[in-house]
Structure 1
Amino acid sequence: MRIRHIRGMFGLPALLLVSILLTTGCSGVIGPKYAAGFSAVPADCAAALKPAEPAIKAFAGEVYSSATEFEDDDRSVSPYSQYLGCAQNFGTSVLREPLAPHRKPMWRNVEVSYFVSMYPIMAGETTRSLMEREEIDTRSPRPTPVAGIGDDAVTWVKARSPRELTRVTVEFKIGNLSVQVETSGKDWSGVAEAATVFDSAELRADLQSGAESIAKALARQVPSALPTTVLTMPSRTKTTTTTTTTTAIRPVVWDPCLISERSITAAGLEERPDIWASGSDRSRCGWDGAWYRVVAHSTEAPFESSVYENYVNPKPVTIGSRHAVQTHSRSSDLFCVLSFELPVEANIPHAGGRTLEFEASLTESHSRAELCDELVRVVTVLQGDLPPTT
């Protein structure tokens, strides 16, 4: 009788109404129940990557350096979401002695991004499968599931152009937190005539295992480190979004004409004023020797494309405490080049720092071997005046 009376009063199935009243504690307020979710991304890149530090170290291997700085890509905070992107790059573009006769890491790069949605999570709601979303890049292979990482995880290899880095991405979700881990890199080939390897089955295997191990480490430790709250619907009133992007001021190129006259004289050279040129992206200075000419080029161009793509037969050379690469011209025996990598951002990312080259050319009849030996001697005298090199 009582149930029929309630149904008659409210026009609802009585059992359903009783259920609602019990759920709301009979307060008369009927609304959804929200679950707890994450309320913030990590405070900074040190906090973001620290849980995966052992995995990152294992991935980078012999090119790992604890002195490598974090690259803060950007941070974005709004009432609807929070985002943090960080990166670390390990390695060098300069061949080192002794040359390894086998494949070894040249660059190992890690990028990690955190995204927290501030929209509420319904109680009992499950994470939507990442496999159901639209593919990030239709040129790339379809993502594949990865077990044992967060609530849900997928991985894929990014499609690449001929000179791009090979990249492997793992994305996982835990509630309202999404994390992407991207690994990329290059290898030394172990063959001097073909110094760098942009893509290979072995490299892809290294990148995938690295991305998955880093993602697993983050999924295990990050949730306990992030603050949580029961999220409520963000206010629809006008709000302000704060976005922070780290942008370094690009320095001008180093001018080789800054080499002191005393060093030039000690090296047995005479300045050639007609060779001097200077600009924001390149600078040039030249000198005459007894039977050869030396021209120094300082450019914004990255070391890898300047050296390994323009010249042949790269050979590591030690100049004092500096590392350089000696190369030859593709079409002439009259030239020898010594190149240094500067620890300054080049005009193309992920291809090494800026380039400082010393190019020697014959003016009399001597062999290229003699020319290269003389260039090493000259630069050894001048190297105390050079800027820092990698």
Structure 2
Amino acid sequence: MDTQPQPSREGQGNPQNERDKKFIDLSSICLTQDDIDLPLPLTPTEEEPYSPIVDDPVTQPISGTSLNEEHRLCLAEMESARDKTDPPPLSQKVVLDFLLAVWDLVVLFLSPGPVHGLIAMLIAAFWISWLGPFAVIIAFILTRHWLVISTRHSHAATYGAWPSTMDASCPHYSLIVCGSGGHTGEMIRMVERSIRPDELSHRRWAIGYGDQMSYDKVMEFEHSLVRKFGQRHKIGTFDIEFFHRPRAVHQSWLTTPFTALVSLVEIFKIMTTAPGRHTATGSRYPGVVATDGPGAGFMFLLAAHWLKMTFVVPDDFVKTIFVESWARVKSLSMSGKLIKHFTLADVFIVQYEGILRRLSPNEYYNRNFVVMPGLHNRAPKRGNRAS
């Protein structure tokens, strides 16, 4: 049967003003400001098959993809980890993995040289009295806690709001602790404002099991970096790690110590595991740990403090940042009170002047830190505070 030749697309085109209505506005999706004037592709007509390159440009390679090939691989790998948001069911394998993680931590904490001296002191104290080892352990914990805090205060007084003495040539990654709901949204806004393109950086997002919304928000944010910088700038790499929450909502305080112990072991594992093969750094430990108030944030900062106390990392490494939640207007949250009491944060920031009178001179007030760039001020000394 004879078939009539189909007219070309140009021959059956509509007037320009009507055809423009069918364009997809990709200028805000995958074009930089300098490329907005480039011709845009046509949207598939009803007779044409679906084209993922046109209708779903985010998931398809765009110009300059090779510039961020590692980030694209991270996106694909983390998309495949979507099922990991559900907590693993209790089984023999899970119990074995937990025991192996505990053993790895024991080996890690016993590896530094100064700890070997402590072990020798414990053995010597045992021959004197059975109470001797307990006294040595308590003295060691109190002494190391005081020394780490002293280092933290001295660096804060010397370097100001960002007490960093890390070598810039040493690649490290940032560990970002996500709470549920608004906590994750606040952290993403702060990270979004701090992103610097063309820097070799890695972001490790820590999300609690079962928090599907935080996982979706983080993935959406990482996709947005591709749309914003992906064509002409490097945007670093990222990964997502999951952990059990120290305490669930309405959980009994009697069972909280057990779940907190499980959570602490997983947190140590997250903080002592190097990023994967698709990342921009091979550092085993994070250079920065940031949290904005969820209960798990206290556990992460406590783990970082313990890594310093046991000589696993130097006292001036693994910088800890606590930003009080934007929802706390007049008082600190429970996490904020604990972190402040034990001095676990290198930088402690609140966002409302009503909490300023509760801060010490080593802590900071940053107006509207989440919503908009604020004024970063050191808290006044007690003698200079207004009544």
Structures share fold, TM-score greater than 0.5: no
Task: Name the one with the larger strand percent.
Answer: 1
What is the TM-score normalised by the length of structure 1?
A: 0.21
Structure of higher RCO (CA pairs closer than 8 Å, 6+ residues apart)? 2
Higher radius of gyration, 1 or 2: 1
From the two aligned structures, give the one with the greater helix fraction. 2
Q: TM-score, normalised by structure 2?
A: 0.21
